[in-house]
Amino acid sequence: MSDILKWQYSQKLISAEEAVKMVNSGDHIFYGEFALFPETLDEALAERINELSDVVLTGVSFTRPPKVVKADPERKHIIMRDFHYGKVARYLHDDNLCSYMPITYHQGPRLIRKYMHMNVVYAVVGPMDGKGFFNFGLSNSVTHAAMDKADLIIVEVNNNVPNCLGGNQESIHISNVSYIVEGKNSPLLELPAAQPSPTDHKIAEILLPNIEDGSCMQLGIGGLPNAVGALIAESDIKDLGVHSEMMMDSFMELYDKGRLTGARKNIDKYKIVYSFALGTRKMYDFLDFNPMCASYPVSYTNDPRIMALNDKVVAINNALEVDLLSQVSSETMGLRQISGTGGQLDFIFGAFQSHGGKGFICLHSTYTDKEGKTHSRIVPSLSPGTVVTVPRSVVQYVATEYGIVQLKGKSTYERAEALISIAHPQFQDELIKAASSMNLWVKTNKIEG
């Protein structure tokens, strides 16, 4: 590292306490993405929260409750907003401490550059390299866009952040950084692999024949994608590629098994393309300086036009409910915000555009509520307040443990009949009656097959 870079570093290095003094009432702060939470800056800001008012925090899928929000239980000083709900935002939302920001994920960087202004960006980064760059590590979806619209860019250095190669816009040079805070170097959040349920395994078995040699994979989060990954790992499928918003342990394991090469991709050949990573430390170490992997902003990974340049894109995502009109909800149950649109709409749209591509919406046929009552996830119509994540005009395949149906090119009655055929048998008769009352004519009173 040159002497001039060392000097620049020393001139911009300040304490967290000094950094948060630069925040004023009414400021809008970008609070980072996913596993890269600005812990040190958050703790310092919480200490002076009573001095401030109307401070807006915006982040992407908070993975820990901000102390600054917990210090303001009546929401007198802080307004918290999240682009994608996980467990943290969901429960803060239940206490009226967090609001959801609807977003079509691939438009996120453009949305920020076009309509939002950030007074301050807090970004967790890896240590500065010999060329003067700080790497964004595990989260690159909208961070650079937020920096482009910021008055102050304050990086919090954590030595545990892996250096994730690009792609593009995966780092920032010290000349563009306002101030540097050296953080506590806490271990990064790890997301253990969700254990697939028997139903997940059944759906995965149904999906597997639809994954061909050379398919380009996108997997969502949860037990089902892990079940799919495990089955592929033990199969003879070869030359898989990855173009996904999320990098997960399953992809690393497929690479280790020799199933994933990227050799048949049309763009980013031989590269695992992703925008953010959540998983185990083993996977984070796998990403560190790995030229096989390429980190891109979500405006690249999730743009349907770009992903569709690859052939045989296979997108597998979960849903909460599908109604007989074939509308998909993957983010709310009634008025309760559970998750977010995320990249589901992007990838279902893009997979259909891909030559030989397939976009799957997957769901368990039933769920059990807190009182022990079983409900169908295929319903006559979505309940009031439920948000449509994927409109019926975009839906391609829907899968449950009872089979897969392809809905493109089908009328409303054909869609209703197809969906009833993969509903739990316990609910098929009442769904047939509901379809009839909705003027969704069903050919028979009994679904066969």
Active site residue ranges: 245
User: Do the Cβ atoms of 95 and 69 come closer than 8 Å?
Assistant: no
Q: What one-character-per-residue DSSP string does 311-367 give?
A: SSEEEEEE-SEEETT--EESSEETTEE-S--TTHHHHHHHHHHSTT-EEEEE--SEE
C-alpha 24 chain-centroid distance? 31
**Rounded distance between C-alpha atoms, residue 376 and residue 363, angstroms:** 10
Sequence-separated (6 or more) residues with CB below 8 Å from residue 146:
30, 112, 116, 118, 121, 123
Residue 123, judged by CB atoms within 10 A of its CB (0-12, 13-18, 19+), counts as buried
User: Do the Cβ atoms of 85 and 61 come closer than 8 Å?
Assistant: yes
User: Do the Cβ atoms of 30 and 121 come closer than 8 Å?
Assistant: yes
Q: Which residues of 274-292 are buried (b: 16+ CB within 10 A; e: fewer)?
A: bbbbbbeeebbebbeebeb
